[in-house]
Structure 1
Amino acid sequence: MILILLMLGLLGFIVGFLALKHRAQRWIVGGASLLILVMAASLMIGNDTQHWGMQPVTKTTTTPLQSAVKNDYVSLLLYQPIKHATTEKVYVYRPVNQTKRQHTAADLTTHVTVQTSKANTAVLTTKTTRWAYRNAAWRWLFSATGNHTTLIKRRQIFSLPNHWATLSVSQAQWLAKQAKALKATEQTTMATKVKQLRSADPSLSATQAKAQVERQLNQQTPSVLAKLIKQAQQQSKY
């Protein structure tokens, strides 16, 4: 509608001052059209630069997460440094029940925070603030002028349980190699210890001996894993 008013004001101004013969008609039609033209142009400029008729509206969404990559020992949130920046990062995550990974935006309107929570599941809380029209009248007035949902800011908060870890893509690749080696070592250790237990106590079945060894290895896993993650975080993040 604002564009129609702008065109009507322009046409009325031209016709009023150039086509009409009587002086009074010229000033009435031309003057009124000039006023409409100025008002319409001012409203367009104000809407475009100062967001007249609009207000910030914030929408909050919560997305449950699963590990960004498959790892038998730990769930991971990944990040990739932007070029060789020390603080600017793009975080890589995967929503629950989805195979495709997603990433945060690398722009000045997006602020990302990673925090630890006491919950058992990881979630991403996204608060998006955009400009929106105050009411239907303002929306109708500027209905044909372009984008009406300009992004103001986006706040993304990753809330991760204690058993999650945050690593760069490069660090996660290093950890995956170490985890594979650890799994192979555990299998060798289990076979050896099962034999030792059955040799020391022939009354034990293979299943009973294996269960005992698994309990011992499971008790050792948290400390070994903590050490591996700490070593991974000390690797180059690039």
Structure 2
Amino acid sequence: MILIILMLGLLGFIVGFLALKQRVQRWAVGGTSLLVLVIAASLMIGNDTQHWGMQAVTKTTTTTLQSAVKNDAVSLLLYAPIKHATTERIYIYRPMNQTKRQHTAANLTTHVTVRPSKTNTAVLTTKTTRWTYRNAIWRWLFSLTGNHTTLINRRQTFRLPNNWATLSVSQAQWLAKQAQVLKTTEQATMATKIKQLRTADPSLSVAQAKAQVEQQLQKQTPSRLAKLIKQAQQQSKY
């Protein structure tokens, strides 16, 4: 609507001072139109530069997360450095009960932090602040400008339990390969230990020996996994 008012003011200004012959009519129409023109232009400039008629509104959403990659041993939050930057990165995550992964935005208005959490569930808290019109009158006035909301900033905080790890995409790929190697090694170790147990105690069945070996390996899994993750974090992030 402000554009229409601006055009009417300009048209009235031209007609008033150029088409009307009587001095009183010229100043009445032309002067009034000039005032309308100045007010409309001032409102447009003020709205564009100082956000006249608008207010900052913050909306907070919380998203429960699952591991960005399917892994029974560890849950992962992934990231990718932006153009080989040291600190600038986008984070890759997967909301609960969804198969498609999402990522944070790479712009100056988005700020992302990763923090540990004492809970057992990983969550992403997003606080989005935008300029919105104070009331329906201001929205109606600028209805034809097409700029009804403007992003001020977006703050996203990942809160991860202790059993989660944060790795770059490259580091996660390295971890997957090493985990497969470890699994193959454990299978070979299991076969050897089962044979050793049955040799030492022939009364043990294969199932009994296998259960004992699996129990031993399960006790060693957390320390092995922690060591493997630490090694992954030491790999190149690019």
1:150 equivalent in structure 2 = 150
Cα deviations by residue, 1:5-59 (Å, 9 ceiling, x for unpaired) = 1111111111111111111111111111110010001001111111100011111
1:165 equivalent in structure 2 = 165
Shift of 1:88: 0.6
1:68 equivalent in structure 2 = 68
- Asked whether the 8 Å contact 1:73–1:179 carries over to 2, the reply is no
| Secondary structure of the structure 1 residue equivalent to 2:144 | coil
| Secondary structure of the structure 1 residue equivalent to 2:167 | strand
How many residues align? The count is 238
2:41 equivalent in structure 1 = 41
Amino acid at match of 1:168: S
1:234 equivalent in structure 2 = 234
CA root-mean-square deviation? 1.2
Amino acid at match of 1:35: L
- Distance in 2, matches of 1:182 and 1:214, equals 14
- Asked whether the 8 Å contact 1:13–1:29 carries over to 2, the reply is yes
Amino acid at match of 1:41: A
2:98 equivalent in structure 1 = 98
Percentage of identical aligned residues: 84
| Secondary structure of the structure 2 residue equivalent to 1:8 | helix
Which TM-score applies when normalising by structure 2? Answer: 0.96
Shift of 1:147: 1.8
Structure 1 position 7 matched with structure 2 position 15: no
- Distance in 1, matches of 2:189 and 2:163, equals 25
Give matches, 1:1-238, under 5 Å: 1-238=1-238
Cα deviations by residue, 1:86-143 (Å, 9 ceiling, x for unpaired) = 1111111111222221111111101000011011111111111111011111111111
* Unpaired runs of at least 5, structure 2: none
- Distance in 2, matches of 1:99 and 1:26, equals 69
- Distance in 1, matches of 2:175 and 2:89, equals 20
| Secondary structure of the structure 1 residue equivalent to 2:9 | helix
- Distance in 1, matches of 2:180 and 2:149, equals 48
